[in-house]
Amino acid sequence: SKIITVPIELLQDSSIDVEAMVRARLAERIGRITNTYFTTGTGTSQPRGVVTASSAGKTGTTGQTTSVILNDLIDLQHSVNKAYRGNARWMMADSSLKVIRKIVDGQNRPIFIPGYESGNPGGEPDSLLGKPITINDDVAAMAANAKSILFGNFSYYLIRDALDIQILRFTDSAYAKKGQVAFLAWFRSGGNFIDASGGAVKHYANSAT
């Protein structure tokens, strides 16, 4: 989590539980960095992320460096074997969903129009081509060569947590002489696909040029 230092006076004088607030922020930091690793981790000294481990399903044609067309989405969906598509879903950054929502037909009409759902009139669509959408901003935004959209059955991605989050409190001389108390969160975890075929999740890559 990296170290967070807090002045001793703040811990002593504050009317709120500063230490509890710091612990909550450390847990949030761990959550953010593990999400990044579970998404784009290299697999070397860190989890192998779903983007890294996914196989190519569709690549945009020349000129589609920051865009995707309806046929690309259909091709990506069908690049995943039907055996995996029952519980499949989309994963992408919010900026990519924004691009998709702007796709129009030959008459300049939006292809995807949010429906009037209970408690969500005119809201953003929660599905695309009949499958749920997960927003994950650690998936690359659309750019040249970017693996910007994932589709497949993510239940084949296994996360192993070796231990609970450990939070360390340092009051040794290195910090005490500065009038500080330091906090550090530590967590061990790993992730990878357990699908031997490598076809449970596939990605759309934007064109290089």
Number of residues assigned to the chain: 209
Q: What is the pTM of this model?
A: 0.85
pLDDT of residue 104: 87
How many other β-carbons are positioned within 10 Å of the β-carbon of residue 156? 20
Residue 115 confidence (pLDDT): 55
How many C-beta atoms surround the C-beta of residue 189 within 10 A? 16
Query: For residue 189, what are its two tokens?
Result: 């975890």
**C-alpha distances out from residue 169 to 3, 33, 99, 100, 143, Å:** 10, 21, 45, 46, 42
- Per-residue confidence (pLDDT) for residue 1, from 0 to 100: 87
Running along the chain, 209 residues long, what does each successive block of 10 average in pLDDT?
90 86 91 95 93 95 95 96 94 95 86 59 68 95 98 96 90 91 92 85 97
pLDDT of residue 164: 87
**pLDDT number for residue 135:** 95
pLDDT given for residue 94 in this prediction: 95
